Amino acid sequence: MSGKQIIISEVGARDGLQTQPVQVSTADKIRMLYALSATGLRRIEVTSFVHPKIVPQMADAEDVLAGMHRAPGVRYAAFVPNIKGAERALAARVEDFKSGVAVSETFNSLNVRMSTGQAMQAFADISAFAKGTSSQVVGVLGTAFGCPYEGDMPVERCLPLIEVMVEGCAKLIYFADTTGMANPGSIARLVEAAQKRWPEINFGLHLHNTRGLGLANALAGLERGVTDFESSIGGMGGCPYAPLAVGNICTEDFVHMLHGMGYETALDLDALIAAARLTETILGAKLPGMVLRAGKASELHDAEKKRDKAPA
């Protein structure tokens, strides 16, 4: 595996914070983003340009982008649901407009108050708006593997939506397991079908750990040549319209696994762990990341100390 570099897009500041029960201050978001920018990440999703009544946690989108430190070489992204959001994002100097659609009509209507057809038109409008600017559109296919309201999403239902994104000049498209219903088999089926039909497009994975299969699903993607993944510091995340959902795959846990397998990431694992600890301090709560609790596998322990504590 050595020599194959994996690109991680960090989504904790957006996907991770949007469902937090306490309002995180603009200053603390900026602190968190500064720590993440110092880890070697080259893609960071900062916020979303949605109506503040829908996602109050993201009401300070412009203030965060105006106040944060921008590290050289990092592309900063935001979720953009419509053309008004794209206009705001461009004014705030967002490089990547994350935009897309849920395969599930029901989920789409709950999440962005649009039908699937309306969301696809919004994507086309955003893509056209981005042309000729310094920004680019990145496609996101939500509920690509299943919906808690409609059930499994067959590959055949996904392909026409992917085609619209390809026609909209998206060179990178993430398949999102929005509600954690995927398994390694369903990951393999969609990735293989998309790669066969559009070999020129870079397909990535946005995975949640709702049912404990997050890293197993990531491994299924890796085995099929996927090199772009979205993850969240500390394993934060969730969607307001995904019943009982838990966080995204944990960035530092995923990087720990990748490094152990010989993949290159250009990321500083210790810096990621420090960023996760800072995020815990900001939130005043423990995060679900495992390496944060157990430490790296390379950190050895003193056997003599264990013997001293052993019962006689």
Q: Which domain holds residue 13?
A: 7-309
Q: What mean pLDDT value characterizes the chain? A: 93
pLDDT bin (cut points 50, 70, 90) of residue 1 is low
Nearest of 260, 264, 251 to residue 214 by alpha carbon? 251
User: With 50 as the cut, is the pLDDT of residue 205 above it?
Assistant: yes
* Nearby residues of 87 by Cβ (< 8 Å), 6 or more positions away: 129
DSSP symbols for 237-305: ---TTSTT---BPBHHHHHHHHHHHT-B----HHHHHHHHHHHHHHHTS----SHHHH--TT----HHH
Decide if 297 is inside a domain.
yes
CATH, residue 280: 3.20.20.70
Task: Evaluate whether 38 touches 72 at the Cβ level (below 8 Å).
Answer: no
Predicted pLDDT at 3? 56
Decide if 24 is inside a domain.
yes
User: With 90 as the cut, is the pLDDT of residue 214 above it?
Assistant: yes
Decide if 235 is inside a domain.
yes
Decide if 138 is inside a domain.
yes
pTM of the complete model: 0.94
Decide if 1 is inside a domain.
no
User: Which candidate in 147, 158, 239, 250 is catalytic?
Assistant: 239
Decide if 143 is inside a domain.
yes
Decide if 206 is inside a domain.
yes
Give, in degrees to the nearest 5, the angle at Cα 115 between 112 and 118.
90
Predicted pLDDT at 2? 46
Structure tokens at 186: 């369903």
User: With 90 as the cut, is the pLDDT of residue 304 above it?
Assistant: no
Q: What is the pLDDT of residues 88-143, one digit of tens each?
A: 999 999 999 999 899 999 988 887 788 889 989 999 999 999 998 999 999 999 99
Decide if 188 is inside a domain.
yes
Q: How many domains does the chain have?
A: 1
Q: What is the pLDDT of residues 169-202, one digit of tens each?
A: 999 999 999 989 999 999 999 999 999 999 999 9
Nearest of 264, 247, 246 to residue 255 by alpha carbon? 264
Q: Is 147 a catalytic residue?
A: no
Rounded average pLDDT over 237-243 = 69
Rounded average pLDDT over 20-31 = 94
Cα distance between residue 172 and residue 158, in whole Å: 16
